[in-house]
Chains A and B, each alone.
Chain A
Amino acid sequence: MNNSVRSTARLVGAGLRALLVLTVVCGVIYPLVVTGIAQAAFHGKANGSEVTVDGKSVGSERLGQSYNLPGKKDKDGNPLPDPKYFQPRPSAAGPNAENTQYKLIVSGASNLAADSKTLLDAVKQRRADVAAFNHADPSAVPVDALTASASGLDPDISPAYARLQAKRVAEANGLPAATVEKLVEDHVDGRVLGFMGEERVNVLKLNVALRELAGAGGKR
């Protein structure tokens, strides 16, 4: 009995020492080496691909953000989209519930099922809203405008959704429609290496370019 207690203790001691030494290798040395290489070779990307305009940070190229009318809400208390900007995909990322110390960007999906009535109603509502907002035919609204993304932070929209918004954006900014449509086409990113993933438009980069254009036109 005494013997087996002692051998168990010895074994657990070996396990603990193994864990600690591997923690140093995998949990300290490894991430520090990778961070060192990443910071030296890919400084901008390793720190979140921040986009700056005139030296001022306007967000991360990787993360979607909202473009709403400041201070205005609809009757349900939801913010209203600003017609002067291209709008991103719907987001189902939840509120920052667990920790109130920060106003963190939170990621997440709706997790609603394909046969969920809540999701079905939301899709119908979005179709009507997006069509009305863009003065477009409801049947022309593409799928990415009707569904919430996986991360809730999708930085991209489909080229179809960007094209759908071009006319409304042009009107709101007092720009010729053809100019904005060309801007959209210039911002369409093809599939990676020609076949990976989907074609997309980065909403932040498109809006930054749009604002430059509108500013240059002296309409703001």
Chain B
Amino acid sequence: MSPVLSGVLQLLALIAALALSYRPLGDYMARVYSSEKHLRAEKLIYRTIGADPDAGMRWPAYLRGILAFSAVGVLFLYLLQRIQGILPDSLSLGFTAISPDQAFNTAASFVANTNWQSYSGEQAMGHAVQTLGLAVQNFVSAAVGMAVAVALVRGFARSRTGELGNFWADLVRGTVRILIPLSVIGAIVLVACGAIQNFSGIHEIGRLTGGTQQVNGGAVASQEVIKELGTNGGGYFNANSAHPFENPNAFSNLFEIFLILVIPFALTRTFGKLVGNVRQGYAILAAMGVIWLGFTALMMWTEYAHHGPALQAAGGAMEGKEQRFGVGASAIFATTTTLTSTGAVDSFHSSFTGLGGGLTLLSMMLGEIAPGGVGSGLYGMLVMAIIAVFIAGLMVGRTPEYLGKKIGTREIKLAACYILITPTLVLGFTALSMALSSPPESILNVKGNSVDGSGAHGFSEVLYAFTSGANNNGSAFAGLNANTPWYNTTIGLAMLLGRFLPMVFVLALAGSLAEQTPVPETAGTLRTEKPLFAGLLVGAILIITGLTYFPALALGPMAEGLS
């Protein structure tokens, strides 16, 4: 079997698995978020929080809940890292406290569902920080994203009310009923493949030629599974999902890709169920699926073709890739992780072909909506759908409507603000970093190291860092030394603003939609469940992103890929 055929078969197997899980999981999640019953464990949790799970919240209250919960999360995680030095060795593994700027960066990163890591996992974080801090945020930051998506969907589904549901109930249900059960199953599968799961700490094992080597123990499988399922991406080890203890074989690799995609895709079914028309969900799914499949096919093509002087000399694009995965599966992982807000890697994007690296960048620049992060993918895509409906309305000269709700001045302003946030953060911080004198010193692939002497790849390293941060991805062109006060602070800010500012606009939008009286469907209503609309949506996404980022992409990956 040729490597290309193997790659295509793996892609088909993945699609089949996603298709099989789409309806059951999507319907289940719809029931979770619309159920009136509370589990006994949940009642206990609500009593501890001191919240009434049945109290409806208007959008400002919902937002305040998210901000309070997330702010406490940042502070807790920051303090946990700062006190690591005084924890007992069994909890800290003997590692010292994390520096203030790096601790801020890491705390912001995990709470914002980004999981950008300027530290090296096996050399910095002990059991306490990994398991009590980072893994917990993997769960709850994902549950927050899903809660916001569900709140927006309720905005479409409800009328003449401002209430979007209860944040505490959505947070707890997402965690307890969706993420934890799937994680337990997934973690066992990963251990069966060979991922480690223990608390034995750093210990010595032998070597064949004599002597010993020291390896980390840790609760790796349990953290690995939620890192993918919650589209977080922060690895236990420096090499992330390329590390054999995190991702032991080709099956676990494909399984991890499946875990990344399963919730974001299935949420379109949940959306369809909750708005009472599953075909509306299929249209959104189609737009997501077309982009994901198109990017994956392009990525596989460019990686198999291995353009670039060094890769041509080697005879294949295997730099920064593992033998057990090969080129094809690594390419699928790379597009999946960057089109969602995951950022886990099973191969290192910096050593991809120029065009392949550019594709990972472009994937994130689309706003991570195809299918996107858990929750954030759906609400990002629905905001784009509103823009697409608006464009279509302009073409035919009608007041645009979506799902029976008028898209008026207020709605379009909120949607426009949403899509302007990340480009502003990405391009602003990248420009600042290139203009100032010391930040560029962190670049690995500098001018002079590059064969053509252009330094295009070096620019891409910085552009990638802020694109990854502001879009809450977390993957990196890891040549960049990002553990400096400048990058720790600016990327930390980009992650927080890139996560929570859009949520403000999404929830305001949801509130405004929920207050409306639905407009009856007429012959002139745009049929948003039809393929034509899905096509329009894909076009709108590509054009808006293209126009926003083309100049920056031309300076970086396109200059490298075409030279």
Q: Contact residues of A with B, CB < 8 Å?
A: 8, 11-23, 25-28, 30-31, 33-35, 37-39, 41-42, 45-50, 53, 56-63, 65-68, 70, 82, 85, 89, 93, 96-99, 101-120, 122-124, 127, 142-144, 146-158, 191-198, 200, 204, 207-208, 211
Question: B120's contact among A106, A110, A153, by CB below 8 Å, is which?
Answer: A106
**A50–B23 alpha-carbon span in the complex (Å):** 41
Apart from the given pairs A108-B239, A114-B560, 18 other A-B contacts in the complex at a CB distance below 8 Å: A30-B222, A35-B222, A45-B192, A45-B195, A48-B217, A50-B205, A57-B206, A61-B194, A62-B194, A65-B213, A111-B351, A115-B457, A115-B563, A156-B322, A157-B323, A196-B253, A197-B251, A208-B208
Residue-wise interface mask of B (80-109) relative to A, using a CB-CB cutoff of 8 A (1 in contact, 0 not): 000000000000001110000000000000
The number of chain B residues with a CB under 8 A from chain A is 133
Complex-state Cα separation, A66 to B272, whole angstroms: 54
Q: Describe A's contact surface by its main secondary structure.
A: mixed
Instruction: List the A side residues contacting B171 at CB < 8 Å.
Output: 18, 22
Q: Are B50 and A17 in contact (CB under 8 A)?
A: yes
Residues on B close to A: CB < 8 A?
A: 1, 3, 5-6, 9-10, 13, 45, 48-51, 64-65, 68-73, 76, 94-96, 119-120, 122-124, 131-133, 135-136, 138-140, 168, 171-172, 175-176, 180, 183-184, 187-188, 191-200, 202, 205-210, 213-217, 219, 221-223, 226, 237-239, 242-245, 248-251, 253-254, 306-311, 313-326, 329-330, 345-348, 350-354, 357, 444-445, 448-452, 456-457, 477-479, 560, 563
A45 to B253, CA, bound (A): 16
Task: Please give, as numbers and ranges, the residues of chain A lying within 8 Å of B194 by CB-CB distance.
Answer: 45, 49, 61-62
Let me know if B136 and A39 touch, CB within 8 A: no
Q: A47-B217, A115-B309, A192-B250 are in contact. Are A39 and B209 (CB under 8 A)?
A: no
B450 touches A117 (CB 8 A): yes
Known A-B contacts A17-B50, A120-B309, A123-B314; the reply to A39 vs B354 at CB < 8 A is no
| Residues A111 and B479 in contact, CB atoms below 8 Å apart | yes
Q: For the complex, what is the distance from the CA of A153 to the CA of B241, rounded to whole Å?
A: 12
Cross-chain contact B249 with A67 (CB below 8 angstroms) = no
Q: How far is the CA of A212 from the CA of B359 in the complex (A)?
A: 48
Does B308 lie within 8 Å of A15, measured CB to CB? no
In whole angstroms, what is the CA distance A147 to B308 when docked? 14
Knowing A42-B192, A106-B123, A117-B451, say if A151 contacts B244 (CB, 8 Å). Answer: yes
Q: Is the CB of A89 within 8 A of B323?
A: yes
Shortest Cβ distance from A89 into B: residue:
B323
Contacts of B196 in A (CB 8 A): 45-48
Given contacts A38-B191, A62-B245, A113-B445, contact A96 B353 (CB under 8 A): no
In the complex, A21 Cα to B202 Cα: how many Å? 29
Please report the C-alpha to C-alpha distance between residue A79 and residue B175 in the assembled complex, in whole angstroms. Answer: 50
Q: Please, which residues of chain B bring their CB within 8 A of the CB of A34?
A: 183-184, 187-188, 191, 197, 219, 221-222
The answer on a CB contact under 8 Å between A113 and B132 is: no
Question: Closest chain A residue to B476 by CB distance?
Answer: A111
Bound form: Cα–Cα A175–B201 in Å: 41
Q: A11-B64, A47-B200, A197-B249 are in contact. Are A146 and B315 (CB under 8 A)?
A: yes
Q: Contact: B69 with A48, CB < 8 Å?
A: no
> Which residue of A has the minimal Cβ distance to B196?
A48
Could you say which residues of chain A place their CB within 8 Å of the CB of B445?
A: 111-113, 116
Distance in angstroms between the alpha carbons of A148 and B214 in the assembled complex: 21
A153 touches B243 (CB 8 A): yes
Chain B CB within 10 Å, residue with most, of A14, A37, A111: A111
| Residue in chain A with minimal CB distance to B251 | A192
Task: Out of B10, B239, B306, name the residue touching A153 (CB < 8 Å).
Answer: B239
Residue on A nearest B356 in the bound complex, by CB: A114
Tell me which residues across on chain A come within 8 A of B320, comparing CB atoms.
Answer: 109-111, 147-150
Q: Which of B64, B73, B197, B345 contacts A39 (CB 8 A)?
A: B197
Q: Are A104 and B131 in contact, with the CB atoms below 8 A?
A: no
> Which of A57, A62, A155, A197 lies at the interface centre, i.e. has the most chain B CB atoms within 10 A of its CB?
A197
Which residues of chain B are near A103, meaning CB under 8 Å? 213-214
Contact call A107/B243, Cβ cutoff below 8 A: yes
A98 (CB) vs chain B CBs: closest residue: B123
Cβ contact within 8 Å between A150 and B457: no
* CB-based nearest B residue for A200: B323
Residues of B within 8 Å of A118, CB to CB, are 449
Contact B444 A11 (CB under 8 A): no
Q: Can you give 12 contacting A-B residue pairs, CB < 8 Å?
A: A11-B68, A14-B50, A19-B72, A31-B222, A38-B198, A45-B195, A65-B213, A111-B320, A152-B239, A154-B323, A155-B244, A200-B324
Which residues of A lie under 8 Å from residue B221 when comparing CB positions? 34, 38, 46
Contact status of A116 and B239, CB under 8 A, knowing A38-B187, A59-B206, A98-B123: no
Q: Which of B250, B450, B479, B563 contacts A191 (CB 8 A)?
A: B250
A195-B239 contact in complex given A30-B222, A200-B323, C-beta closer than 8 Å: no
A48 to B96, CA, bound (A): 25
| Residue with the greatest number of chain B CB neighbours at <10 A, chosen from A57, A59, A107, A153 | A107
Chain B residues with CB below 8 A from A85, complex form: 208-209
Given the known inter-chain contacts A15-B71, A22-B175, A38-B188, please indicate yes or no for A116 contacting B449, CB distance below 8 A: yes
Write the nearest CB–CB distance from B257 to chain A, whole angstroms.
11
Chain B hits for A192, CB < 8 A: 249-251
Kindly identify which residue among A56, A70, A107 contacts B206, using a CB–CB cutoff of 8 Å.
A56
Chain A residues within an 8 Å CB radius of B200: 47
Q: If the complex has contacts A65-B207, A111-B350, are A23 and B136 also in contact, measured as CB distance less than 8 A?
A: yes
* Contact of B213 (CB < 8 Å), options: A22, A28, A105, A208: A105
Which chain A positions have C-beta within 8 A of B184? 30, 33-34, 37
Report whether A68 and B209 are in contact in the complex, using a CB–CB cutoff of 8 Å.
Answer: yes
**Does B120 contact A114, Cβ atoms closer than 8 Å?**
no
B90 → A minimal CB distance (Å): 14
Cα–Cα distance between A61 and B448 once the two chains are bound (Å) = 40
Residue contact B313 to A106, C-beta cutoff 8 Å: no
Partner of B191, one of A45, A107, A124, A152: A45
CB distance from B173 to the nearest CB of A (A): 12
Q: Evaluate contact between B329 and A196: CB separation under 8 angstroms.
A: yes
Instruction: Report B-chain residues with C-beta under 8 Å of the C-beta of A124.
Output: 313
Residue ID in chain B nearest A197 by CB atoms: B250
Instruction: Determine whether the beta carbon of B10 is less than 8 Å from that of A115.
Output: no
A89 to B19 alpha-carbon distance, docked (Å):
37
| Shortest Cβ distance from residue A11 to the other chain B in the assembled complex, whole angstroms | 4
Chain A neighbourhood of B351, CB < 8 A = 109-114, 119
State whether A48 touches B205 (Cβ < 8 A): yes
B132 touches A28 (CB 8 A): yes
